[in-house]
Amino acid sequence: MLLDFLFPNYKCFACGCELNAGENIYLCDNCAKDLPINTEPVVLVNPDAKQHFNKAYAAFRYQEPISKMILGLKYNDRAQVATAVAPYMAAALIKGRECPLSALVPVPLCKKRQRERGYNQAELLANEMAKTLGLVVEKNVLLRTKVTTPQKKMTVAVREENLRGAFAVADGADVKGRNFIIVDDVFTSGTTVNECAQALKKCGATKVDVVVIARA
C-alpha cells in the first residue's frame, strides 16, 4: 500500500496501458504523439442556418483516441479526461482568438442527465480551462429551458428542431456588452452551441465564441 502511494500507477485514457507517474499521467507516449489535432475551420453543418456565434475552435478531430476519451468522459465516469484535454482546448482558443478573452460558459446539461452522470462534462472542461487561462466560469448564465432528446442518431434538421428554444439567459445575469466563450465537448452539427450563442446575443452579448474538445 505504501509503495502504491509513493509510486502510483495510472492507465492511459486512450489505450489502457499502465503509466508510471511522470510528466503525463493521462496518455502514453504512443497515444500522445498520434493525437488527431484539428487544423480545419469549425462551422455550422447546415449552410442555410444563421450562425450566431462568431468563431468556433476545436482542439481535435473526433477520431481515436480522442473519440474514446470523450465517450469515457460522458458515459463511463472518466471525469479526469477533462483535465487531460483542457490544455489543448485552451491552446486552440489562444492561438485563434483575436479579441480579449472573457467568461467561460459551459453548455448546461438537463438535470436528469446530470444526476445520472454525476457531473456536467462541459462544466468540468470549463473549470480546467479556467486554470490555464485565468478566466472565470459562469455556469449559471445559461439555463436549459426544456428537456431534449439525445441527438446521436438525429439528422441536422431534426437536431435543429429538437434544440430550438432549449436555452435561455438566466434572469438577472450580467450579459450585455460582454464577450463569452461557450464550452462543450463535441461540435457535430453545431446546433447546440449555436442555440446557446443566440440566447446570449439576444440579451446583448457583444461576442460569443465556442471551444470544444473535438469536431465530428
The 10s digit of each residue's pLDDT in 100-152 is 678 999 999 988 888 888 999 999 999 999 998 999 999 999 999 877 766 66
Residue 182 pLDDT greater than 90, yes or no: yes
Beta strands, E only, 94-194: 103-106, 142-144, 167-169, 179-187
Share the mean pLDDT of the chain: 87
Q: Provide the 8-state DSSP code for 137.
A: B
Residue, of 20 and 118, whose pLDDT is higher: 118
Over range 69-84, report the average pLDDT. Answer: 92
Looking at the whole model, is its pTM more than 0.95?
no
- Based on the fold, state whether residues 110 and 155 are members of the same structural domain: yes
CA 50 to CA 85: how far, in whole Å?
30
Cβ proximity of 78 and 123 under 8 Å: no
How do 167-169 and 9-11 pair as beta strands?
A: unpaired
What pLDDT does residue 23 have? Answer: 57
Give me the domain span that covers residue 14: 1-34
Cβ proximity of 191 and 156 under 8 Å: yes
- Based on the fold, state whether residues 66 and 19 are members of the same structural domain: no
Over range 189-200, report the average pLDDT. Answer: 95
- Based on the fold, state whether residues 85 and 155 are members of the same structural domain: yes
User: For residue 194, what is the enclosing H or E element?
Assistant: helix 191-202
Residue 3 pLDDT greater than 50, yes or no: no
What pLDDT does residue 7 have? Answer: 43
- Based on the fold, state whether residues 76 and 14 are members of the same structural domain: no
Record the cell numbers describing residue 203, joined without a space: 440579451
Considering its fold, how many domains does the chain have in total? 2
Residue, of 112 and 6, whose pLDDT is higher: 112
Residue 215 pLDDT greater than 80, yes or no: yes
- Based on the fold, state whether residues 96 and 194 are members of the same structural domain: yes
- Based on the fold, state whether residues 185 and 200 are members of the same structural domain: yes
- Based on the fold, state whether residues 106 and 61 are members of the same structural domain: yes
- Based on the fold, state whether residues 151 and 68 are members of the same structural domain: yes
CA 146 to CA 168: how far, in whole Å?
10
How many angstroms separate the Cα of 181 from the Cα of each of 14, 15, 29, 128, 211?
A: 27, 31, 31, 14, 7
